[in-house]
Amino acid sequence: MIAFSYDRAQSPAEAAATALRTAGAKFIAGGTNLLDLMKLGIETPTHLIDLNGLGLDRVEATPEGGLRIGALVRNTDLAADPRVRRDYGVLSRALLAGASGQLRNMATTAGNLLQRTRCPYFYDTNQACNKRTPGSGCSAIGGFSRQHAVIGVSNACIATHPSDMAVAMRVLDATVATVRPDGSARVIPIADLHRLPGNTPHIETVLERGELITSVTLPKPAGGMQLYRKVRDRASYAFALVSVAAIVQRDGTGRVALGGVAHKPWRVEAAEADMPRGAKAVTQRLLAEATPTHENAFKVTLAERTLSSVLTQAKG
Ligand code: SF4
């Protein structure tokens, strides 16, 4: 075991400042991803900053008619919140499609957004992986890549983002509030939170060193039929091959985001103008730049068929 120190944060700003000045420090909340990574020797923090006492565990109405979700709200509690179930059905459904009941009881809102990819080569320290060890290469390119991304990829990494929740938050136009080590706050549109891999796949978000997510805000409800459809290799406790988060209005207009296809939740707002024309037209624009591997080209067709099914259900 690799030794590390531990303390409990007293405030978000103090936690952020500690993370900046302590080399190798990591935040821990639910621990559902980090502890696995530590056991495998993929994450080797020197210091853990426990956020669980910070009180960021409430869901509150905002003056604008939306909801502010504390960073430490557990996935189970968020999915079950009556306001989320009533007004943000796509989010509740996406949360319940993720992980298992036990994991959802521990996993937090911010941790869900920041979870690492499930690329099997990332988890195998005998394999080259630019995300785990920058500059070492990418074993997935030319390797087993059925689960991997089809769009927004690079020659350095073709991993997907594993979150279901983040896909729903993307279609809902959520914003992410943070505190930086100097105590200043900022708000990041969720569209901008996650990065594409480029040449630096180990840098997964735009968060600065030490910057701590404190909450996620949903704008006022978008209405419409809100659906989340996840296609996976088994019926539960599996990551998406493709997922679709959709909000469909009575007149056929709406919004759509895809999971399981890119390094971040994938949404192209311009493609949504084609929603009334059907799934094929939307998917052609959503995935126009797709460059699948020899093993995952099926995801392009699967995305179209899944969206088609969702649109049919919405009409029904
Ligand atoms: Fe690593 Fe990304 Fe390649 Fe997977 S796809 S092996 S995470 S660099």
Query: Which ligand 1 atom lies nearest to the CA of residue 139?
Result: 6
CA distance 80 to 102: 15
Contact 307, 291 (CB under 8 A): no
Give the residue among 72, 103, 75, 91 at the shortest CA–CA distance from 214: 72
Give me the chain's average pLDDT, please: 97
pLDDT, one tens digit for every residue, the chain (316 residues): 789 999 999 999 999 999 999 999 999 999 999 999 999 999 999 999 999 999 999 999 999 999 999 999 999 999 999 999 999 999 999 999 999 999 999 999 999 999 999 999 999 999 999 999 999 999 999 999 999 999 999 999 999 999 999 999 999 999 999 999 999 999 999 999 999 999 999 999 999 999 999 999 999 999 999 999 999 999 889 999 999 999 999 999 999 999 999 999 999 999 999 999 999 999 999 999 999 999 999 999 999 999 999 999 998 8
**Token pair belonging to 102:** 């036990």
**pLDDT value of residue 315:** 87
**pLDDT value of residue 316:** 81
Q: What is the pTM of this model?
A: 0.98
If one residue of 37, 42, 117, 118 were mutated to test the ligand 1 pocket, choosing by the most ligand atoms within 8 A of its CB, it would be 117
CB-based pocket (< 6 A), ligand 1: 117, 119, 121-122, 129-131, 138-140, 157-159, 201
Q: What is the DSSP string of 138-206?
A: BTTTTS--TTS-SSS--SS-------SHHHHHHHTT-EEEEE-TTS-EEEEEHHHHBPP-TT-TT--BS
What spacing in Å lies between the alpha carbon of 134 and ligand 1's midpoint? 10
Q: Torsions phi, psi of 16, nearest 5? A: -65, -40
Instruction: Give the pLDDT confidence of 218-244 residue by residue, as tens digits.
Output: 999 999 999 999 999 998 899 999 999
**Token pair belonging to 270:** 């311009």
CA distance 100 to 123: 20
Give the residue among 268, 257, 168 at the shortest CA–CA distance from 218: 168
Query: Which ligand 1 atom lies nearest to the CA of residue 129?
Result: 1
Contact 271, 298 (CB under 8 A): no
Give the residue among 207, 196, 274 at the shortest CA–CA distance from 71: 207
